[in-house]
C-alpha cells in the first residue's frame, strides 16, 4: 500500500473539500470522446524481470538513428556529441542538483548558467539571454506572449515556413489568452509576402530561418517593416549549428530570438528532453520569461553568481509574472555549454562548414536524378525535394531497407498539396557512403 496511501474515506473527504461528489467531475473539461471508458489491456501485475523484458521487446521495435544512413531532421538533428559531454553531466554534483535557490551553495550551477547565457547571446547576436526554456516550441510561444506585453497588442503573424509544431504551441497559448494568430500558408520557396500581412494591430511577426523546408531567409527587410508598424520581429531557428555560419538574427534586426539547442550537446533521445534558447534586447529584459543569472561580488569582494531576475509566478506575484515555466532544462543546458566550450568559435564555424558542404554534395547528387527536383535556392544543412510519387510511401519503402530518408512534408502539413515533398537533413555524421545509399535507393524507388 505504499503507493496507495489514501483510503476511500480520505478520497471522499478530498472530493467534498473540492466540492464535487465524484472523481469523474474533475475531468469534466476533457471531451467525452477523449476519455477512456475501460481499463487499458495491461497486466495488473508483473515481476521486475518480466517488466524489463516486456519493455525491452517494445523498445526493440524502434530504429535508432545510428543504426544506418539517417537523414531525418525537421526540428531535431543527429550530430556527433563528444564523449566528454556525457561523462561530465553524469557526475553526481550535476546529475542530481536542483534549482539554485540558495546561491551560497549553488555557485557551480549558477556559473554554468551564466556561461550558457553568454554563449547564447553571442550566437544569436543579442544583448541578453535567459537561463533556457523547455524547448524551441514552448520558447516560441513565450516569445509571442512577451511581444504582446511589450507592444500592448495581441495579434501575431506566423510565417508559413515556421515549423508547424511551433505554430501549434503559439496557437494553443493564444487561444487561452484570447489573442489573434494569422498563419500564412506553407511556401516551399519562401516567396510569401509577410510584409503585406503586417498592420497597425500586429504585435509580432514570427519567422524561422533556416525555415522548416531548409531555406535561409533574409530577415532584415521583414525587421524593417515590423519596426515601421511598431511591431517586433521574432526570429526562430530549429538548427542552432546554422548560427556558426549565417549572419546572426540580432545583426539582421530581430527583437527576440528563440530556438532549439538540441543540436549542440544533446542526443536525439527519441524526442527529448531538449533545451530552448531565448535571447532579446536589453530594453526588453524585464518582459523576458524564465530566469536570468547574473555576476556580482560577495561581501569579501570575490566574484559570485546569483539569480538576477526570476519572473515566473513561483517567485513573484502571479499578476506580475511573465511566465509560469517551471524549469530551465538544467542538465541539457549544461550539456550544451560543455559541447560549445569544447568547440569554441573556430570549432563551431568548422562544424557548420562541414554541415553545409555535406548538404551541398547531397543536393548536387539528388539534382542529377530523374524525377527529382531540389526546391531550395539557398540552404544550410537541410533541403526539400519534390519526387515523382508519394513521399510517405517512398520513405516507408526505404526504411525497410535500413535507410531513414527524411520527413515527408505531408506529415507536418497534411492536406496542403505537399504529398510529393521530402525534407532531408544532412549533418556532419553522414558519410559519402550514406549519401550514395540514399541516392541509389531513391532512384530505385521511383
Q: How confident is the model at residue 311 (pLDDT cuts 50, 70, 90)?
A: low
Residue 246 gets which letter from DSSP?
Answer: S
Whether 245 and 139 map to the same domain: the answer is: yes
Residue 296 pLDDT exceeds 80: yes
Whether 286 and 392 map to the same domain: the answer is: no
Whether 108 and 195 map to the same domain: the answer is: yes
Q: Final residue of a domain: which of 277, 307, 340?
A: 340
Q: What is the CATH number of the domain that holds 361?
A: 3.90.1150.10
Q: What is the pLDDT of residues 332-347, one digit of tens each?
A: 999 999 999 999 999 9
User: By three-state DSSP, how is residue 175 classified?
Assistant: helix
Whether 381 and 297 map to the same domain: the answer is: no
Q: How confident is the model at residue 37 (pLDDT cuts 50, 70, 90)?
A: confident
In whole numbers, what is the pLDDT of the chain averaged over residues? 93
Query: Is 95 inside a domain boundary?
Result: yes
Q: What is the CATH number of the domain that holds 235?
A: 3.40.640.10
Neighbours of 437 (CB within 10 A): 19
Whether 140 and 278 map to the same domain: the answer is: yes
Query: Is 263 inside a domain boundary?
Result: yes
Joined together, the cell numbers standing for residue 359 give 548538404
Neighbours of 304 (CB within 10 A): 17
Query: Is 136 inside a domain boundary?
Result: yes
Whether 374 and 253 map to the same domain: the answer is: no
Residue 370 pLDDT exceeds 60: yes
Query: Is 15 inside a domain boundary?
Result: no
Q: How confident is the model at residue 257 (pLDDT cuts 50, 70, 90)?
A: very high
Q: Please say whether the beta carbons of 116 and 94 come within 8 A.
A: no
Q: How many residues does the structure list for the chain?
A: 446
pLDDT mean over 101-130: 94
Whether 156 and 243 map to the same domain: the answer is: yes
Whether 425 and 277 map to the same domain: the answer is: no
Give the pLDDT of residue 316: 64
Residue 287 gets which letter from DSSP?
Answer: G
Query: DSSP per residue over 71-115, as a string?
Result: ---TT-------HHHHHHHTSHHHHT------GGG-HHHHHHHHH
Give the pLDDT of residue 99: 78
- How many domains does the structure of the chain reveal? 2
Q: How confident is the model at residue 2 (pLDDT cuts 50, 70, 90)?
A: low
Q: How confident is the model at residue 314 (pLDDT cuts 50, 70, 90)?
A: low
CA distance 25 to 35: 12
pLDDT mean over 134-154: 96
Q: What is the pLDDT of residues 47-99, one digit of tens each?
A: 999 999 999 999 998 888 999 999 999 999 999 999 999 999 999 989 888 77
For the chain, helix (H) and strand (E) counts, in that order, are 12, 13
Residue 313 pLDDT exceeds 60: no
Q: What is the pLDDT of residues 191-241, one digit of tens each?
A: 999 999 999 999 999 999 999 999 999 999 999 999 999 999 999 999 999
Query: Is 373 inside a domain boundary?
Result: yes
In degrees and rounded to multiples of 5, residue 404 shows phi and psi of -90, 100
Q: Residue 288 burial by CB count (10 A; 0-12/13-18/19+): exposed, middle or buried?
A: buried
Q: Final residue of a domain: which of 287, 321, 340?
A: 340
In degrees and rounded to multiples of 5, residue 433 shows phi and psi of -65, -40
Question: Which residue range forms the structural domain that includes residue 395?
Answer: 65-81+345-445
Whether 292 and 152 map to the same domain: the answer is: yes
Whether 334 and 367 map to the same domain: the answer is: no
pLDDT mean over 409-427: 97
Q: Final residue of a domain: which of 320, 340, 360?
A: 340
Residue 4 pLDDT exceeds 80: no
Taken in order 39, 45, 48, 49, is the CA torsion positive or negative?
A: negative
In degrees and rounded to multiples of 5, residue 379 shows phi and psi of -160, 170
Whether 241 and 295 map to the same domain: the answer is: yes
Per DSSP, helices labelled H in 181-293 are 220-228
User: By three-state DSSP, how is residue 236 classified?
Assistant: strand
Whether 77 and 115 map to the same domain: the answer is: no
How crowded is the C-beta side of 241, counted as CA atoms within 13 Å? 32
Residue 17 pLDDT exceeds 80: yes
Taken in order 258, 208, 287, 127, is the CA torsion positive or negative?
A: positive
Joined together, the cell numbers standing for residue 138 give 514552448
Q: Please say whether the beta carbons of 287 and 128 come within 8 A.
A: no
Amino acid at each position: 500500500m505504499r503507493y496507495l496511501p489514501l483510503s476511500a474515506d480520505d478520497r471522499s473527504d478530498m472530493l467534498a473539500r473540492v466540492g464535487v461528489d465524484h472523481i469523474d467531475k474533475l475531468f469534466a473539461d476533457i471531451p467525452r470522446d477523449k476519455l477512456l471508458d475501460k481499463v487499458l489491456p495491461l497486466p495488473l501485475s508483473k515481476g521486475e524481470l518480466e517488466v524489463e523484458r516486456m519493455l525491452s521487446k517494445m523498445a526493440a521495435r524502434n530504429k535508432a538513428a545510428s543504426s544506418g544512413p539517417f537523414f531525418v531532421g525537421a526540428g531535431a538533428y543527429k550530430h556527433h556529441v563528444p564523449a566528454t559531454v556525457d561523462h561530465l553531466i553524469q557526475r553526481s554534483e550535476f546529475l542530481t542538483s536542483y534549482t539554485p535557490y540558495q546561491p551560497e551553495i549553488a555557485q557551480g550551477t549558477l556559473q554554468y548558467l551564466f556561461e550558457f547565457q553568454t554563449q547564447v547571446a553571442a550566437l544569436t547576436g543579442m544583448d541578453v539571454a535567459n537561463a533556457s526554456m523547455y524547448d524551441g516550441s514552448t520558447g516560441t510561444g513565450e516569445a509571442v506572449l512577451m511581444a504582446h506585453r511589450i507592444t500592448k497588442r495581441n495579434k501575431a503573424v506566423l510565417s508559413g515556413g515556421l515549423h508547424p509544431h511551433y505554430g501549434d504551441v503559439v496557437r494553443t497559448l493564444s487561444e487561452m489568452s484570447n489573442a489573434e494568430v494569422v498563419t500564412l500558408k506553407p511556401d516551399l520557396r519562401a516567396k510569401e509576402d509577410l510584409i503585406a500581412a503586417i498592420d497597425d494591430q500586429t504585435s509580432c511577426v514570427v519567422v524561422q530561418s533556416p525555415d522548416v523546408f531548409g531555406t535561409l531567409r533574409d530577415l532584415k527587410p521583414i525587421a524593417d517593416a515590423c519596426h515601421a508598424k511598431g511591431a517586433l520581429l521574432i526570429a526562430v531557428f530549429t538548427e542552432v549549428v546554422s548560427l556558426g555560419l549565417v549572419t546572426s538574427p540580432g545583426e539582421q534586426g530581430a527583437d527576440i530570438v528563440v530556438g532549439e539547442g538540441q543540436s549542440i550537446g544533446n542526443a536525439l533521445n527519441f524526442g527529448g528532453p531538449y533545451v530552448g534558447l531565448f535571447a532579446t534586447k536589453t530594453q526588453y529584459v524585464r518582459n523576458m520569461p524564465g530566469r536570468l543569472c547574473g555576476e556580482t561580488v560577495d561581501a569579501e569582494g570575490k566574484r559570485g553568481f546569483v539569480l538576477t531576475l526570476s519572473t515566473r509566478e513561483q517567485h513573484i506575484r502571479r499578476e506580475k509574472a511573465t511566465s509560469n515555466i517551471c524549469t530551465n532544462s538544467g542538465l541539457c543546458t549544461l550539456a550544451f555549454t560543455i559541447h560549445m566550450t569544447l568547440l569554441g568559435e573556430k570549432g563551431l564555424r568548422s562544424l557548420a562548414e562541414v554541415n553545409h558542404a555535406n548538404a551541398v554534395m547531397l543536393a548536387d547528387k539528388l539534382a542529377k536524378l530523374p524525377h527529382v527536383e531540389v526546391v531550395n535556392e539557398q540552404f544550410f544543412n537541410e533541403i526539400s525535394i519534390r519526387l515523382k510519387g508519394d513521399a510517405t510511401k517512398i520513405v516507408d519503402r526505404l526504411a525497410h531497407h535500413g535507410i531513414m530518408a527524411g520527413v515527408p512534408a505531408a506529415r507536418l502539413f497534411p492536406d496542403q498539396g505537399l504529398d510529393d515533398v521530402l525534407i532531408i537533413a544532412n549533418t556532419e555524421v553522414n558519410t559519402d557512403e550514406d549519401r550514395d545509399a540514399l541516392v541509389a535507393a531513391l532512384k530505385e524507388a521511383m
